[in-house]
Every structure is written in C-alpha cells, then in structure tokens.
Amino acid sequence: MLLGVNIDHVATLRNARGGNEPDPILAAEICERNGATSITAHLREDRRHIKDCDILVLSKTLKTSLNLEMAMNEDIQKLALEIKPHSICLVPERRQEVTTEGGLDVAYQFEKTREFIAPLIDSGIIVSLFIDPDIKQVRASANTGAQFIEMHTGKYSESFGTENEENEFQALKIAAELAQSQGLKVNAGHGLNYENVRRMHEIKDLVELNIGHSIISRAVFVGLPQAVREMSDLVKSAS
C-alpha cells in the first residue's frame, strides 16, 4: 500500500496566527523525503486552511503527486482543470463542520456527480469519490466513470478497540471487495492512526491510505520526518 499524507493541519496552524509559519509547502517536501507517495490537500470553499496559492505551488513543486480534495464547486473545478493535479478526491462539505464528517451521497446526487467529474476525467485527472462503506454508494460510484473510491474509515476508527470494531471493519472489507468487482480501485482514509492502521492489510488490494491528523499530531512530539517514516513503515508492513 501507498501512503498519502494530508497537510491541511499544517496550514490550519499557519492560519491561526497569519504569516507563513509553519509552511505547508515545506511540510509537503519533508513528507515526500520520508516516505509519502502523494500529498493530499483539501481546498475548501471557505479556504479555512489550504489556500489557492498553496495548491498552485504544490502543483509545480511536488516530486510525487498532488491529490486535491474538493467539493462540487465550479471555481475549484476550474482551478483543477488549469493545474491538472494527478488526482482529485470529491468530498462532501459543510461550512459548520470541523472536518469531513461522512461520505459523499453519490446515489442521491448521481447525475450531478457524474456530470461534475466528466471534464476532470476527460482532462486526464484521476477521480476518486469519498464515500461511506455502503453498498448503495459503491454501486452508484461505479457508474459515474470515476476510477477510484476512497472509503471513509471514520466509523471504524472511532469504534477501534470496542465491541463495534469488527462490524465496522467488515463493512469496509465488504465495500472494498464489491468496489473492486465493479472495476473500481480503492483507497481509504479518515481517522486512521498508528494503532488502527494495522488492520488495513486485511483488506485486499487497497491502493493508498490518506492520513493527516495523526501524523501531524505525532510530529509535535517526534518531528515530522520521524512521524512520516513511522507511518510509512506501518503502511508498507501492511502490504
């Protein structure tokens, strides 16, 4: 499996005081040097952390690949078509949420989703849909033209170590198997940390795990290079 590192929280810290520190671009470079195989950045509609200028610089300087998280927003779609990141991950977005709270309802917004991602796919950008591990959402996603889904692992992460862990993990496993049978490739992320990530190797043929908060949190105590290396080692050992 591959490790994508989300640098949004570095930008959040920068924006808390204004100015340029800590620099998310430098954070991305450090992540690349220490085992990240892609960098994820979420350009939210309210620009609360990552900003347009960050995305523009990342698109020109990354040595690995840029995974742009975005909502169905025409302005951000236009930016994506201009810079052509390696991939985009389409996510739901609500202004009042602290972080992405659930998956995209592709089944309910099927035509809108299919039409929105079509020009991105046509331009050569790999498209992933961030969905809950739900059979209905997987089947709808398979018919949109997207090449990937990213399974929302939040419920599994929250239930880790409790009596509900197995049920939530099996939901991920079943959804991944169905997606792969429908021709989709599968990534996963949200809430994964240095403990619960270990079970991801039980899900066959996962391509990439996207992890941010846990890595940046650990970096406060051990430094970003070590935090990324430690997670990279766990992800590789789960291959």
Per-residue confidence at 237, pLDDT binned at 50, 70, 90? confident
Name the domain count of the chain.
1
What is the structure's pLDDT at 101? 63
Rounded to whole angstroms, the Cα distance separating 99 from 121 reads 26
Mean per-residue pLDDT, 106-127: 98
Asked whether residue 135 is domain-assigned, the answer is yes
Helix H, strand E, coil C: the string for 37-78 is CEEEEECCCCCCCCCHHHHHHHHHHCCCCEEEEECCCHHHHH
What is the structure's pLDDT at 98? 47
Rounded to whole angstroms, the Cα distance separating 221 from 23 reads 18
> 42 pairs with which residues across the strands?
69
- The candidate with the shortest Cα–Cα distance to 40, out of 100, 95, 87, is 87
For residue range 190-227, list pLDDT tens digits in order. Answer: 999 999 999 999 999 999 999 999 999 999 999 999 99
% residues pLDDT > 90 (the chain)? 93
pLDDT surpassing 60 at residue 115: yes
What is the structure's pLDDT at 94? 67
Scan for tokens 């005081």, then name that residue. Answer: 17
Asked whether residue 146 is domain-assigned, the answer is yes
Q: Which domain covers residue 146, as residue numbers? A: 2-220
Asked whether residue 47 is domain-assigned, the answer is yes
* pTM of the predicted model as reported, rounded to 2 decimal places: 0.94
For residue range 8-53, list pLDDT tens digits in order. Answer: 999 999 999 988 999 999 999 999 999 999 999 999 999 999 999 9
Does 239 or 160 have the greater pLDDT score? 160
Q: What is the mean pLDDT of the chain?
A: 95
Asked whether residue 133 is domain-assigned, the answer is yes
Kindly state the tokens that stand for 176.
Answer: 């991944």
The secondary structure element, H or E, covering residue 209 is strand 208-211
Residues annotated as catalytic are 42, 69, 190
Asked whether residue 227 is domain-assigned, the answer is no
In CATH, what number is assigned to the domain containing residue 133?
A: 3.20.20.70
Asked whether residue 154 is domain-assigned, the answer is yes
CB 139, CB 182: distance < 8 Å: yes
pLDDT surpassing 60 at residue 141: yes
Asked whether residue 232 is domain-assigned, the answer is no
What is the structure's pLDDT at 99? 52
Long-range contacts of 233-237 (CB under 8 A, 24+ apart): 233/35, 234/194, 234/197, 234/198, 235/1, 235/2, 235/3, 235/197, 235/200, 235/209, 236/1, 236/3, 236/35, 237/201
Asked whether residue 67 is domain-assigned, the answer is yes
